[in-house]
Each structure stands twice: as C-alpha cells, then as structure tokens.
Amino acid sequence: MIAFLGTGLMGTGFVRRLLSQGQTVHVWNRSPGSARALEAHGAKAFATSADAVAGAERVHLSLSDDASVDAVLEPLADTLPTSCWIIDHTTTTPSATGARARRWTERGRVYLHAPVFMGPVNAAEGTGWMLLSGDPEHCARVLPALERMTGAVMQLGQLPERAAAFKLFGNLAFLGMSALAGDIVRLAHATGVDPHDAAMMFQHLALGDVFTARLKKVVAGPFEPASFTIGMARKDVRLMVDEAAAHSCPLAVMPAVAACYEAAITRGEATLDSSAAFRC
C-alpha cells in the first residue's frame, strides 16, 4: 500500500496514475476536499496523516515548500515504521533537503528526494521527467516504481540535495525564459510592433541550441577572443532599456543585465566576450 500526502493538482495526478496501475493508495491533504474527491477514482481518504500512512510501504509527498514538508513529516517521526520509505516530490531548497535527508537517516528511515519536471497532466499520464538523488542502493531499489510514475528518471548521484539543486536549475531556466519573453513583449509594444509578430521571429531561431552554447561559455569560457564584447552588449542593452522607457513600457529583466555589464566594464573587462559578465 502507498500513502500519498498532498493532493493538490500534482498530487492528484500522481495518485490517479498509481491507481491506474492497480495500486492501493491512501491519501491525505490539509484541505480534505481534494483527497475525498480521489475516492471516486479508488483511493481511500483519511482525516489525519497518521491514519493515512498506517501500514504503508512508501509515503509520497507533493507539497509546496520546505516548511510544508517538515510540517507534515515531523509529526510522523514516531509513527512511520522503519520499513516505510519516504519519497518526496516537492520542490525544495538543496540545503534544507540535505538536512532533512540526514535527519531521517539518523532516525533509521529512508528519505529520497525525487522532484519533477512535470505538470498535473504529465503526472496523471506518467510522462515527463523525475529527478532522483541519494544512496545508490536505495535509489536502485525504488527506481522501477518511480519509472512507472513518469516518462524518465534522471539519477543525479549520492548526495541527497543534488536533485533539489537540479530542479532549481531547470526552473530558473523555465521561469527566466518567461521573464525574458515579457521584456520582448514590452519592447514590442514600445516599438509599435504587434507582439504576435515579434513572437513569430523566434519560430525561426534555434534558441535551445543557443542557450546550451551560452551556458557552456559562461561555465568555462573562453572569453577571448570575443565574438561579441561586453562593451557592445552593454550598448545594445542600453538601446532596449531606453527605447522601452521612452514609451512607458519599462523592461523588467534587462536593467539587471545592464548592471552586470556595467560592473564588468568597471572591472576593465569591456573587451571580453559578453558571456564573461555573468561568470561566477
């Protein structure tokens, strides 16, 4: 039997996937309505988390953050048997995840972090990506079950906090792209271009390949010879920021980019490749 704690949109999708595979699933949620709704699909809802996990082989969690994970798990410290594994799909910070894994290990329990690049539909269909890190033997034992929950599982090594870090890397890229898209829309409005027309241009640009190449450049260079210097990049960013501001459509992201270029120029790096301004 599997217990699932946290039946929001993602948790509901996961539970429905598990039920479709013939699993017995006990569910609990702080707001009980979504848990009770899953009874129509074959789950059994419980009023308390302690009752939901009684007799479970695995406890899965899909919550909002570190605080909610600890708020749900800590009261179960004396309830969960040592044979019950904890699989946490919540997006959390690496530092808190590592501390949580070590705390539960000291209690004689297995805690594995398995965040996902999935939406609710992916969770229900078993598609998308799941990340996993932790003790290799434990990961190997649970891997077949996790593979049945998703399209692919990316194993990231022994340190329990690595999956949390990689999840944040991915979300940074996804959310950052949305923020940049917003600046493109603002600049389009400022220049009198229909944003739909601006968006059409990007159908012809292989930005995925460009992003991968730029990321490698920021990681390891080389920054000389420059293909596009920091000085010239700062000029172009100034044009964007000034034009948008002149038409009352201030950009949200590019002023911060400009500040990075200005700091690099102050360090005497104006002739380096523009990617050098963002190295650590």
Domain ranges of the chain: 2-160, 166-278
Tell me the mean pLDDT in the region 137-149: 96
What the block records as the tokens of 263 is: 């700091």
**Fold for the domain defined by 2-160:** Rossmann fold (3.40.50)
pLDDT in tens, 233-268: 999 999 999 999 999 999 999 999 999 999 999 999
The yes-or-no verdict on residue 96 having pLDDT over 90 is: yes
The yes-or-no verdict on residue 103 having pLDDT over 90 is: yes
What contacts 187, CB < 8 A, 6 or more positions away? Answer: 198, 240, 243, 244, 249, 251
| Amino acid 100: pLDDT | 97
What CATH number should be reported for the domain whose range is 166-278? 1.10.1040.10
The yes-or-no verdict on residue 204 having pLDDT over 90 is: no
* Cα separation, 11 vs 4, whole angstroms: 7
* Cα separation, 113 vs 94, whole angstroms: 10
Tell me the mean pLDDT in the region 206-229: 93
| Amino acid 182: pLDDT | 97
Tell me the mean pLDDT in the region 121-146: 96
Tell me the mean pLDDT in the region 168-179: 96
Residue type at position 86: I
The yes-or-no verdict on residue 177 having pLDDT over 90 is: yes
Residue 20 CB: number of other CB atoms within 10 A?
Answer: 13
The DSSP output letter for 112 is E
Q: How confident is the model at residue 280 (pLDDT cuts 50, 70, 90)?
A: confident
What contacts 162, CB < 8 A, 6 or more positions away? Answer: 94, 133, 156
